Amino acid sequence: MTNTFTSIAILKAKAGKRDELHSALLRLIDPTRSEKGCLTYMLFEDDANSGTFYMQEAFQDEAAFGFHTQTTHFQTFAKRMDDLMDEPIQLIKLNQVSH
C-alpha cells in the first residue's frame, strides 16, 4: 500500500477558450514537475472532444499535492479558471490496485 496521491483532473474549456486554456495548462507543467513531491504531471487532450484536457498527476503524498495547490504558478492559473473553463475542475482521485 502506498500513500502516493494520484489523480486525473478534467478541465473543460469554455467555447472559444481552448487555446488559452491549453497555454495556461502548459505553463503549469515545468514548475510543477520541479516541485519536490511531484512524481508525474502530464497533460492530455481528449481526441474526440477538443478543449477537454486531462492532467494526470502523482505526488509523493497528499501533503505534496496540497503544497502544489498553494504554489504561485497554480494560484495564478486558479485565478483564470472562471474565465477559461466551462465548469470547475473535476478531480478524480485514484487508488493503485495493481503493479
Q: pLDDT tens across 11-69, in order?
A: 999 999 999 999 999 999 999 999 999 999 999 999 999 999 999 999 999 999 999 99
* Position 25 in a domain: yes
The set of cell numbers assigned to 40 is 508525474
| Cβ atoms 71, 5 nearer than 8 A | no
Q: Do the beta carbons of residue 73 and residue 28 sit within 8 Å?
A: yes
Angle at 56 between CA 53 and CA 57, to 5 degrees: 135
**Could you tell me which residues come within 8 angstroms of residue 93 by beta carbon, excluding any fewer than 6 positions away?**
5, 6, 7
Question: What is the number of structural domains in the chain?
Answer: 1
- Residue 56: give its domain's CATH number: 3.30.70.100
pLDDT tens by residue, 14-27? 999 999 999 999 99
Written as nine digits, the cell of 88 is: 470547475
For residue 43, tell me if it sits in a domain.
Answer: yes
In a domain, 99, yes or no: no
